[in-house]
Amino acid sequence: MFTVLASLALVAACDPDAGADDDALADAALLDAALLDAAPLPDAGPAPLLRQAVTLPDAELAAKATALLGIGTAGAHSCNDCHAPTRALLDRWHDLGDTATRQCLQDLQVSTPESARKTLDCFRIDPADAASPFMTAKVGWYAAAAHLDWFKYTFARAYGEDGAAKLEAFRQRVGMPKGAHQPFTQAEFDVVAEWFVRGMPDLDARLP
């Protein structure tokens, strides 16, 4: 598509009298610049996956997920250093993650900056107040993904150049695990997430 400036340049080339109108060309250049300034920013690209489906059988999935959570073993992440691994606690984690999925994580493609901010604000104590602190219970087991690419993307989409600082504050407040324990890789989080999404199959065998 020709710009206004390009169109006037063609007219000037065909009509010698038009070429004398420098003011018109200058005005066209200013108009082109204004149109470029008003153009929308380029798309941020597709959002990374928050989690990828895992196709392991239930029993194998349960063995891997509970080992990652430190249930019955002293794993690298060892959630049991801070949490007593009871059925009641795991049921609560499952329910909190289910609520986060239904209430907050409705646009995993993070289609607009407004949608990104709405998603993140849902994790605040008061979603209507952008200054309200984030609440771990509202994030549920997704707190174990706070350092992974989907949250990086979503904070950048929501807050632009301020996204990194806001993400770090989010991680400090809700990110899991705490302390010196290693955070999950994406593949490890996928296993744990799949286990919760399936309803924690084989839990009785893993936590009598």
Tell me what the mean pLDDT of segment 22-47 comes to: 46
9 pLDDT more than 50 = no
Judge whether 55 and 194 are in contact, CB under 8 Å: no
36-91 confidence digits (pLDDT tens): 333 334 456 899 999 999 999 999 999 999 999 988 765 555 565 566 678 999 99
Q: Which amino acid, one-letter code, is at 81?
A: D
C-beta atoms surrounding 125 within 10 Å: 11
Mean pLDDT of the chain: 81
pLDDT at 141: 96
Judge whether 194 and 61 are in contact, CB under 8 Å: yes
**CA–CA separation, 93 and 68 (whole Å):** 15
Evaluate if pTM is beyond 0.85.
Answer: no
Domain ranges of the chain: 4-38, 58-206
Residue written as token pair 């989080």: 189
Dihedrals φ, ψ of 161, to 5°? -70, -15
Mapping DSSP to helix (H, G, I), strand (E, B) and coil, where does residue 199 land?
Answer: coil
Q: How far apart are the first and last CA of the chain?
A: 69
